[in-house]
Structure 1
Amino acid sequence: MENKKINIVIVDDHPIVIEGLKMMLNSQLGFTVSKSFTSGLELIDFIRNHKVDIILLDITLPDSNGTELCREIKKISPATSVIMFSNRSERSIIMQSVQNGASGYILKNTSIDELVECIQGAYSGNIVFCEEIRHIISKPSQNDFLVPRLTKREKQILQMVAEGKTSITIADELFLSPLTVDTHRKNLLQKFQAKNSTELISLALQQNMIEGSK
């Protein structure tokens, strides 16, 4: 186990960024950068046939959007931890990335020590953010001023929806009828003014109403 190195892949459309990261990360004990790509398509082809522990993924690529690419990566390789690595710091992009399965979000001006710490944290199964991103997501958003009031049962069902459970599964676990669960879900959508479950979860995440990995 001591000889096991964290296998990292870098995806960025700037070769100079890739080379700098490679040099820094390969010098760290326990890390190895096995591959790098400048496009999303190349990465997808690679992960279909190779095991990867960590992917450092830029948001803006010539052939794809990083947040959508993250979703695709997690479908193909659920065990791979994706850390978004970007200059973009909009709260909506950060939240969308996490919603699509990212294990973290780091800005490109992050120090090497903080980057190493975040990679180790994501490898251990945690959701990680650099200090600047933690500061951004801790600030109230416009949606925070309209935090809906939920019943105890609605909070319970909201959490289970966020965990990806179906109405039938939720009904079985809570000893309710599927119809009752569907009614609660409709009420949640209405209270959050959300169009669908994905938007519901995103809004609840922004308002810290869902428990998750820290």
Structure 2
Amino acid sequence: MIRVVVVDDHPVVRAGLTGILDAADDMVVVGVAADGVEAVDVVERERPDVVLMDMRMPRRSGDEATALLRESAPEARVIVLTTYESDDVIVRAIAAGASGYLLKAAPEDELLAGIRAVAAGEVALAPSVARVLVARAGRPVEAPVLTAREVEVLSLVARGLSNREIGVHLHLGEATVKTHLLKTFAKLDVADRTRAVTRAMELGIL
């Protein structure tokens, strides 16, 4: 059974999504939240498999909540579910660690398939979102030179993995992962993980 937390500041949306998910044979909604602050509290308490996260909410945005959850509850995989498909919103969500980005206008079966995919460790992207990311990645730019290992580490950051998870994945110590990231930050002229991924996407490195 896939355990899901629904995060949206509109009660009607929360109720509608809860009804859809609870009607599925393999899903159960274990918690709901009305903003990013509540989202972190509920997810840390309920430890769901998947979080459906709205982007624009009071008190704390969806991307900010997602970034916090990647550290405090890394086993919970986040799908951003929103009406927005602009480049900057998409990049912010992916950079924060979201494993999926779907639109609220998506058909019910697409939503359920996306949840199942993300719960299985895959990525779920709306077709229009995938096109945006491909276009950005293919944009001709002059980018700083990162080593193959630095790109590998940064790509895992973009997938939402914590430093510890990256170390396990690449058979590296957590301190070594941090060293690679610090060197990457310097080359990209940024100060944190989120901006590093965003900048790498802007430059076509990722």
- For residues 1-214 of structure 1, the aligned pairs below 5 Å read 5-140=1-136, 144-148=139-143, 150=145, 154-163=147-156, 164=163, 169=176, 185=184, 188-189=187-188, 194-196=189-191, 198=193, 199-206=195-202, 209-210=205-206
Structure-2 change in CA distance of 1:146 and 1:20 (3 Å): same
SS at match of 1:61: coil
1:168 Cα deviation after fit: 6.2
- Bigger Rg over Cα: 1
Give the number of equivalent residue pairs.
191
SS at match of 1:114: helix
Structure-2 change in CA distance of 1:156 and 1:37 (3 Å): closer
Write out per-residue CA displacement over residues 33-82 of structure 1, whole angstroms, 9 at most, x where no aligned residue: 12212122323222332221111010011221110011112222110011
How far, CA to CA, are the matches of 2:23 and 2:198 in structure 1?
37
1:87/1:107 contact within 8 Å kept: yes
Which structure 1 segments of 5+ residues have no match? 171-177
Structure-2 change in CA distance of 1:184 and 1:76 (3 Å): closer
How far, CA to CA, are the matches of 1:90 and 1:183 in structure 2?
29
Structure-2 change in CA distance of 1:136 and 1:41 (3 Å): same
Sequence identity (%): 21
Which structure 2 segments of 5+ residues have no match? 157-162, 168-172
RMSD: 3.0
How far, CA to CA, are the matches of 2:106 and 2:10 in structure 1?
17
How far, CA to CA, are the matches of 1:132 and 1:125 in structure 2?
21
1:154/1:188 contact within 8 Å kept: no
Structure 2-normalised TM-score?
A: 0.78
Counterpart of 1:137 in structure 2: which amino acid?
L
1:154 Cα deviation after fit: 2.3
Structure-2 change in CA distance of 1:147 and 1:110 (3 Å): farther
Which stretch shifts more, 104-113 or 35-44?
Answer: 35-44
1:174 aligned residue:
none
How far, CA to CA, are the matches of 1:56 and 1:22 in structure 2?
10
Counterpart of 1:169 in structure 2: which amino acid?
T
Which stretch shifts more, 197-206 or 12-21?
Answer: 197-206
2:136/2:204 contact within 8 Å kept: no
Write out per-residue CA displacement over residues 57-108 of structure 1, whole angstroms, 9 at most, x where no aligned residue: 1001122111001111222211001111111112222122122111111111
1:167/1:182 contact within 8 Å kept: no
